[in-house]
Amino acid sequence: MLTDKKILLIIGGGIAAFRSLDLMRRLRERGASVTPVLTPAAEHFVTPLSVSALAASKVYRDLFDLTDEAEMGHIELSRAADLIVVCPATANLMARMAQGLANDLATTLLLATDTPVMIVPAMNVRMWQHPATQRNLATLTGDGIAVVGPVNGAMACGEFGPGRLTEVPDIIGAIDAHFSDGPLKGRHALVTSGPTHEPIDPVRYIANRSSGTQGTAIAAALRDLGARVTFVTGPADTSPPAGIDVVQVETAQQMLNAVTAALPADVAVMAAAVADWRVENAGDRKMKKDGSATAPALTFAENPDILATVSKAATRPKLVVGFAAETDDVIANATAKRLRKGCDWIVANDVSPGTGIMGGTENAVTLITDTGAEDWPRLTKTETARRLADRIARHLT
């Protein structure tokens, strides 16, 4: 499958760098050519001579090497590959990628390329779980970068947990999958995300604390499995993923119109936190205090039920997935909601104060179907999205 594929391998500066040597050997066994790039920190763990021997290729190290620039400039080098693999992707390298820095050869190549990029993170467990790393991860996946791992295991520092480099055969498998058709190729996925903003007047609105992180991650995960994704998003904190069709809306009514226009679809994942109510008598001018100490009277009207509308549509998707953010009796309320709305699955979570889920980087969900409730462990929202996308792929194929 990898015959004649060109891999640009960027080796980051972590103890896991030594496993990139085995990765190069196995890639070449499968017919790929490998062009290695060493970061300055990587040279503390592997030598240019060993990397060059196993890659059977010149090693690129310095952004300002006149000989390298004369033979093949860094712009051409960044675009000559079929896939760029960053292994290991350290916390520092991920941070620089997320910020768009270009202060060495590796990051300059990554910023100057339009070639697909895959990162294989490896770092201390606390570094991996740090909110900054998780924010950077969300940014990178939103930019369309594929992520492989990390996995749980013992680390050189003596700690145990998520952060260990994925085993080399599994990395090879992910690279194989990149060059093959994903299980959702030819399928259309519709995903909603973020909050809605319901105007009170031109400067005020009713909203909720949803950041849009989970819906964004789901859209990216479905895209990575080969689906064509239509992403309808409210005013979220998280930027939409690359490589999908994005429709930005503000109100629940606008979201309903966009969702209806996007049908038919094979699967609809309704992850948006839609406001239940809107202000019926919203003003067209800013409401001001008049000195009477009398608050303006707001009249509320119920917003359209987007999930129920999609579930009952004539062009109903084969699979409709709703979300239930609850603060009490989570399973009971979510189970009742699945039946009331007419959807196939409900992803339920507890968003009561103290969980850190609403607006946070992690989620702990229960998947409710017609066969019962399945508790999932607390995971990053990116990992939750991948797990849900895999279940959707298995259901549809």
| CA angle centred on 34, ends 28 and 36, rounded to 5° | 135
Sheet holding 345-350, edge to edge: 245-248, 228-233, 188-193, 267-270, 319-326, 345-350, 365-369, 372-375
**The predicted structure's pLDDT at residue 182:** 82
Q: Which of 111, 157, 261, 332 does the annotation list as catalytic?
A: 157
CA 388 to chain centre: 12
23: tokens are: 């990765």
pLDDT, averaged per 10 consecutive residues of the chain (397 residues), comes to 90 93 94 94 93 91 69 72 95 95 92 91 91 91 84 75 84 80 89 95 88 91 88 89 83 96 96 93 83 82 96 96 90 94 94 74 90 91 92 94
Render 156-222 in DSSP notation, one character per residue: TTS-EEEEEPPPHHHHHHHHHHHTS--TTTT-EEEEEESB--EEEETTEEE--S--SHHHHHHHHHH
87 counts as catalytic: no
**The predicted structure's pLDDT at residue 69:** 62
Q: What is the DSSP letter of 268?
A: E
CA 124 to chain centre: 21
312: tokens are: 């009952």
Sign of CA dihedral 249, 325, 335, 340: negative
Quick count: other Cβ atoms within 10 Å of Cβ 68?
Answer: 18
The answer to whether the bond into 241 is cis (omega within 30° of 0) is: no
| CA angle centred on 320, ends 314 and 326, rounded to 5° | 130
- Please report, for residues 17, 65, 303, the alpha-carbon distance to residue 297 in angstroms, rounded to integers and kept in the order given: 64, 70, 19
Tell me if 196 sits within 8 A of 209, measured CB to CB: no
Instruction: Read off the amino acid at residue 233.
Output: T
Give me the domains of the chain, ranges plus CATH numbers: 6-178 (3.40.50.1950), 188-396 (3.40.50.10300)
User: What span, in angstroms and rounded, lies between the C-alpha atoms of 326 and 291?
Assistant: 39
| CA angle centred on 120, ends 119 and 123, rounded to 5° | 120
User: What span, in angstroms and rounded, lies between the C-alpha atoms of 30 and 120?
Assistant: 19
Output the known binding site for CTP.
276, 286, 304-307, 323, 337, 341
User: What span, in angstroms and rounded, lies between the C-alpha atoms of 4 and 224?
Assistant: 23
User: What span, in angstroms and rounded, lies between the C-alpha atoms of 356 and 377?
Assistant: 15
Quick count: other Cβ atoms within 10 Å of Cβ 101?
Answer: 14
**The predicted structure's pLDDT at residue 214:** 92
**The predicted structure's pLDDT at residue 223:** 86
User: What span, in angstroms and rounded, lies between the C-alpha atoms of 195 and 210?
Assistant: 5
Output the known binding site.
276, 286, 304-307, 323, 337, 341
- Please report, for residues 202, 308, 338, 365, the alpha-carbon distance to residue 342 in angstroms, rounded to integers and kept in the order given: 36, 6, 6, 20
**The predicted structure's pLDDT at residue 326:** 84
**The predicted structure's pLDDT at residue 365:** 93
**The predicted structure's pLDDT at residue 66:** 60
